[in-house]
């Protein structure tokens, strides 16, 4: 019999990476009792720990302005950005970067101590700051240290599986300890979802383990509106060599900006062949060009060549020390040899619908970071991601604390807990279908048929496969703890996959990170808005088009 442990808090934060820890800090500063429940280790998990690229912020009086940042991100988002959310991001990003420095973040600086900036794709000015050392891990570690000092309680290795509702309001969540399979019931006055994206719904991804869309699935099943799930950001320059770390993604892009060339098997300059110039442009466009070459049989080991041999003998060692050393350790001298890179699933632009105060459509539930949608439109510019975690993480924490100050913890019936216990018990047993094998099948289907280049036949195939796996879920079981958790992950993966497929089928145009072979052009006359997805009464995904909200 599974043991049940109950705990109570004012604010429950689900997710212990950048957005979650920032929310926890702000809620605690407002005098609320805060509990962070995290699938990994708080402060050392989630995708932010892999970020080396930087934080975008436009400081006034330095030749830049938040309005310039706004214009760049609106253009990058292909006009689908929620104006209020984007304004909030660009105007608050500088302040939140200063907060991070106060928390302990060390930025790369020149000899005088002035922070260095670089111009990254999509930005018209150099406004992306990077760390003296690994910026992502610096941020999460610093935030965790501050949160711990304020008394925030963290429950690590906790698989949060379901939001708990009472009278239409979120009143906590249910989770399973990944250490001892104990069922944990958390009663909370307010709940913040900061669970990141769902890169591991695809077989080819640079996301860390466990990023399968649990937060999306929880919110969706609790009745929250989701939107823009067709927009999945793919990164074009992920190392194919397993000895090389995905941490080098931004560096490889920077190599191309310095003059390195992406070549196909025949040695052709891919970007010049498709666009007339060798530069990457946007990550979406570059991913499409590379995938076209790979699908056309002109790829190399599932990717393409990155040729940096013409950059000069000293530039790589001086300006790209980390990737240079890593490549050399892997037996590749980039000064003399080309190496293979390829597109991979990077981030989700879609997610939970929120207001500028991080409120979802379900009372008592707030959300921040990659778990949400709207700010970035159809494509996210480099550097905007880290800024998003801090700007909206802080807002979500503040607003959740304010909500918690005016409500009481609502009791929910014991039969609610019993219902979840029975659901978990039902997935215990000898499997007819192995959960790990089923997960891999779904992920491959999504990469092949709902990946970078999409068409109706492929998406219909994916729809049919998802429907098949839903019908056979009763036969997917686990005999031990890890396998039971895999079954729960499969549920999340199927929910997210279905939302992506239904949204992508409905949007009959190409925009941002959504590219359809049968509708290769953008069509503002029909599709200037979002595809909103909700869970229908019959358990099926309902997708509808909603015109863009004007700011």
Cα separations (Å) of 408 from 9, 434, 458? 11, 43, 49
Residue 9 has pLDDT above 90, yes or no: yes
CA–CA distance, 319 with 82 (Å, rounded to integer): 37
Instruction: Write phi, then psi, for 127 (nearest 5 degrees).
Output: -130, 10
Paired residues of 303 in beta bridges: 300
Residue 485: per-residue pLDDT:
93
Residue 312 has pLDDT above 80, yes or no: no
CA–CA distance, 497 with 518 (Å, rounded to integer): 21
Residue 411: per-residue pLDDT:
73
Residue 491: per-residue pLDDT:
96
CA 235 centroid distance within chain = 12
Q: Which tokens hold the place of 287?
A: 């991913």
| pLDDT digits 0-9 by tens, 464-492 | 999 999 998 888 888 888 888 999 999 99
Residue 52: per-residue pLDDT:
81
Residue 550 has pLDDT above 70, yes or no: no
Assess if CATH 1.20.58.100 describes domain 418-512: yes
Which of 292, 321, 301 lies closest to 234, judged by CA?
Answer: 292
Residue 281: per-residue pLDDT:
75
Residue 176 has pLDDT above 70, yes or no: yes
CATH 1.20.58.100 in the chain is located at: 418-512
Which of 491, 497, 492, 493 lies closest to 450, judged by CA?
Answer: 497
Contact 69, 45 (CB under 8 A): no
Find the DSSP H helices in 296-381.
315-319, 321-329
Degrees (nearest 5) of the Cα angle 360, 364, 366? 40
Residue 25: per-residue pLDDT:
98
| pLDDT digits 0-9 by tens, 26-70 | 999 999 999 999 999 999 999 998 888 899 999 998 899 999 999
| pLDDT digits 0-9 by tens, 364-390 | 999 999 999 999 999 999 999 999 999
Contact 379, 232 (CB under 8 A): no
Q: Across all residues in the chain, what is the average pLDDT?
A: 93
CATH number belonging to the domain at 235-346, selected among 3.90.700.10, 3.40.50.300, 3.30.980.20, 3.30.413.10: 3.90.700.10
SS3 of 216, please?
helix
* Percent of the residues in the chain that have a pLDDT greater than 70, as a whole number: 99
- Tell me what the mean pLDDT of segment 221-234 comes to: 97
Residue 1 has pLDDT above 70, yes or no: no
| pLDDT digits 0-9 by tens, 336-347 | 999 999 999 999
Residue 412 has pLDDT above 70, yes or no: no
Residue 315 has pLDDT above 70, yes or no: yes
* Percent of the residues in the chain that have a pLDDT greater than 90, as a whole number: 78
Residue 388: per-residue pLDDT:
98
Residue 551 pLDDT class (50, 70, 90 cuts): low
Task: Give the pairing type, strands 226-227 and 372-373.
Answer: unpaired
- Tell me what the mean pLDDT of segment 414-438 comes to: 82
517 Rama sector, left if φ>0, alpha if ψ -120 to 50, beta otherwise: alpha
Degrees (nearest 5) of the Cα angle 498, 81, 275? 85
- Tell me what the mean pLDDT of segment 261-283 comes to: 92
Residue 392 has pLDDT above 80, yes or no: yes
Residue 75 has pLDDT above 80, yes or no: yes
CATH 3.90.700.10 in the chain is located at: 235-346
| pLDDT digits 0-9 by tens, 97-120 | 999 999 999 999 999 999 999 998
Output the 3-class SS for 374-437. CCCCCCCCCCHHHHHHHHHHHHHHHHHHHHHCCCCCCCCCHHHHHHHHHHHHHCECCCCECHHH
- Tell me what the mean pLDDT of segment 420-444 comes to: 87
Which of 9, 10, 4 lies closest to 401, judged by CA?
Answer: 10
pLDDT-wise least confident of 132-136, 479-483, 499-503, 540-544: 479-483
Cα separations (Å) of 232 from 500, 510, 525? 9, 13, 23
Q: Which tokens hold the place of 473?
A: 């879920």
Residue 413: per-residue pLDDT:
62
């Amino acid at each position: 019999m599974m043991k049940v442990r109950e705990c109570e808090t004012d604010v429950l934060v689900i997710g212990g990476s950048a957005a979650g820890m920032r929310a926890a800090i702000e809620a605690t500063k407002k005098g609320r009792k805060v509990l962070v429940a995290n699938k990994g280790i708080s402060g050392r998990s989630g995708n932010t720990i892999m970020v080396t690229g930087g934080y975008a912020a436009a400081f006034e009086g330095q030749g830049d302005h938040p309005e310039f940042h706004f214009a760049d991100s609106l253009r990058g988002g292909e006009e689908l950005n929620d104006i209020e959310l984007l304004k909030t991001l660009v105007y608050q990003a500088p302040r939140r970067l200063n907060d991070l420095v106060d928390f302990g973040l060390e930025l790369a600086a020149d000899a005088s101590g002035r922070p260095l900036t670089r111009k990254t794709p999509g930005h018209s000015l150099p406004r992306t700051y990077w760390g003296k050392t690994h910026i992502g891990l610096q941020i999460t570690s610093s935030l965790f240290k501050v949160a711990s000092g304020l008394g925030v309680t963290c429950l690590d290795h906790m698989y949060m599986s379901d939001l708990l509702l009472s009278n239409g309001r979120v009143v906590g969540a249910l989770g399973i300890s990944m250490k001892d399979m104990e069922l944990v019931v958390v009663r909370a006055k307010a709940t913040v979802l900061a669970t990141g994206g769902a890169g591991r719904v695809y077989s080819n991804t640079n996301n860390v383990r466990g990023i399968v869309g649990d937060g999306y699935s929880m919110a969706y099943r609790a009745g929250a509106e989701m939107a823009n799930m067709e927009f999945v950001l793919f990164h074009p320059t992920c190392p194919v060599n397993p000895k090389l770390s995905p941490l080098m993604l931004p560096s490889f892009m920077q190599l191309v900006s310095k003059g390195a060339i992406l070549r196909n098997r025949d040695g052709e300059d891919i970007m010049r062949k498709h666009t007339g110039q060798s530069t990457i442009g946007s990550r979406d466009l570059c991913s499409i060009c590379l995938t076209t070459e790979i699908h056309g049989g002109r790829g190399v080991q599932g990717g393409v060549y990155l040729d940096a041999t013409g950059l000069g003998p000293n530039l790589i060692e001086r300006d790209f020390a980390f990737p240079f050393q890593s490549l050399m350790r892997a037996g590749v001298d980039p000064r003399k040899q080309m190496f293979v890179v390829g597109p991979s699933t990077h981030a989700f632009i879609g997610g939970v619908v929120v207001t500028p105060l991080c409120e979802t459509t379900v009372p008592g539930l707030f959300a921040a970071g990659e778990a949400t949608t709207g700010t970035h439109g159809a494509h996210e510019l480099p550097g905007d991601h880290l800024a998003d975690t801090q700007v909206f993480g802080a807002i979500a924490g503040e607003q959740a604390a304010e909500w918690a100050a005016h409500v009481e913890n609502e009791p929910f019936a014991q039969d609610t807990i019993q219902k979840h216990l029975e659901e978990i018990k039902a997935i215990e047993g000898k499997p007819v279908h192995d959960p790990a094998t089923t997960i891999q099948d779904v992920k491959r289907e999504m990469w092949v048929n709902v990946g970078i280049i999409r068409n109706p036949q492929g998406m219909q195939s994916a729809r049919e496969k998802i429907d098949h796996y839903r019908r056979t879920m009763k036969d997917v079981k686990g005999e031990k703890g890890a396998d039971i958790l895999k079954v729960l992950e499969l549920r999340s993966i199927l929910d997210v996959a279905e939302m992506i497929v239904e949204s992508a089928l409905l949007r009959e145009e190409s925009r941002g990170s959504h590219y359809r072979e049968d509708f290769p052009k953008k069509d503002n006359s029909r599709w200037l808005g979002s595809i909103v997805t909700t869970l229908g009464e019959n358990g099926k995904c309902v997708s509808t088009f909603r015109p863009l909200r004007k700011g």
